[in-house]
Amino acid sequence: MRISEVKSTSREQRIAPHTHIKGLGLNDEGRAYQQADGFVGQSSAREAGGIVVDLIKSKKMAGRALLLAGAPGTGKTAIALAIAQELGPKVPFCPMVGSEVYSSEVKKTEVLMENFRRAIGLRIKETKEVYEGEVLELTPEETENPLGGYGKTLSHVTIGLKTVKGIKTLKLDPSIYESIQKEKVTVGDVIYIEANTGAVKRVGRSDAYATEFDLEADEYVPLPKGEVHKKKEIVQDVTLNDLDIANARPQGGQDIMSMMGQLLKPKKTEITDKLRKEINKVVNKYIDQGIAELVPGVLFIDEVHLLDIECFTYLNKALESAISPIVIFATNRGMCQV
């Protein structure tokens, strides 16, 4: 009889203080179990968190914030994270500390707005024609240089893709070969190529190669089902802050002066209100067309007694805006003068 050890192919997550929190640990009636979902005790606080989750799901929490008060180490951050977990698996959770708003480079309101938009997710759904499968062969075909000389130019790339249903050989443009090289695609990788744009995405390594090595950095994925050429719904999760940063720093030139200019920037650049309004317009257009949906996340502000009156005035205005996350404050002080 032969006994062999079966290795898990799922990637291990890094351990942090709250990675064991999976939810609030409540039953169907909203009562807390003594020990569930990574929580032990704090039953009344968890039940109160469950009521907040119900209010958020029924869209009755808009324009309001939640304040958690308690001694250090009583699980205020854990309850805030559990509320985010209860709302859904891809709901953004953005923790920050009250002292983060004080900076010599950026205004206090700018730091708050940045974290606000970091806690608002955008789920973009697109239906794309893709070629997907495991790479069986990858052969660049060369021809004589039309300009003469000894060098050769790339004419096309032959790639063989395999799925459960069959095998297809594709002839690709030389420009796509650059994308393949950037993704470091080799034989045995599972990739998909978008038919319209020619963008290449490496999904992972085929699980047929999973037993090659004891230690492996790659993520193993099963062989794709269906045909090689198919229509696929691709879902991307981004935050509004990601869109702000991408548009605030457009890709500059590749010359040495522009690169040095980016490196020697003395200050962190603020994102203007005008740019944010333009991004909001585009986001609203996508939502109206049904391409994207807004996922309000949870913004958790710890040590909230450190904020001043300007910050609270700004928070009051930001909470009442059309696009705002669920804001949870936490403090370990009693009555405090701002």
98: Cα separation from own chain's centroid: 24
Please provide the average confidence, as pLDDT, over all residues in the chain. Answer: 82
Closest CA to 172 of 156, 187, 186, 184: 156
Give the pTM: 0.68
Topology adopted by domain 14-119+297-338: Rossmann fold (3.40.50)
Q: At 175, which amino acid appears?
A: S
pLDDT (0 to 100) of residue 298: 84
Pairing of strands 120-144, 189-194: antiparallel
pLDDT higher than 70, residue 309:
yes
**pLDDT average, residue stretch 284-300:** 88
CA atoms within 13 A on the CB side of 273: 3
- What CATH code would you report for 127-236? 2.40.50.360
pLDDT (0 to 100) of residue 321: 84
Query: Exposed, middle or buried by CB within 10 Å (0-12, 13-18, 19+), for 49?
Result: buried
Domain map of the chain by residue range?
14-119+297-338, 127-236
